Amino acid sequence: MKKVIHQAAFLMLVSIVLCIMPYRADANEKEPMTLFLECVYVDGVVSQEMIKSPSMTKKQLMKKYKNWRLLKETDQELVFRTSIDDISPILKENGYVGLSVNGILSVFEGKPASSQHIIQSFFQIDIKRLESYQHEQLKKGIRVQSKDEYLSLINFYKIYQLQQRPLSIK
């Protein structure tokens, strides 16, 4: 009788271990995660890098990117975003400040006359107040390669912003 009880207890213990082991194995396995790392630059450009990370757990990735803002989290993917205090590589490589349709001060990838790709638009310029050489420069495009140049140009041309007249209430 004792032998039967010991065998039953042993079988019950083996059953419990066999039932628990798959859960423990799953808990220790690292699920492959897909990371999307977004960088937002001063000029408004958002770059995104996708990384497959089979070797790190979600917890490890959350710790690694703790200084980034978590935008989205699922079982298979994480989306993080950070702000970069500089202009984008696109602007450094081929950025110009110029005028788009209707005299709107804009940042272009390439020269305004030959580019259809506007990176960012700001405000309408009162072209009548510009010196003729300033107007020509903006039509051709002014090359921008640094954050300081970018901010300086935008701030300079704010004084030529076309002011919207307030609506009068009668």
Rg over CA atoms, the chain:
30
Helix then strand then coil, % of the chain, to nearest 5: 40, 30, 30
Q: Tokens 């309408």 — which residue?
A: 124
User: Are 70 and 78 contacting, i.e. CB atoms less than 8 angstroms apart?
Assistant: yes
Mean pLDDT of 93-116: 88
pLDDT of residue 41: 94
Structural domains of the chain, with CATH: 32-81 (3.10.20.420), 87-157 (3.30.70.1740)
Looking at residue 164, what is its pLDDT?
60
34-47: pLDDT as tens digits: 889 999 999 889 99
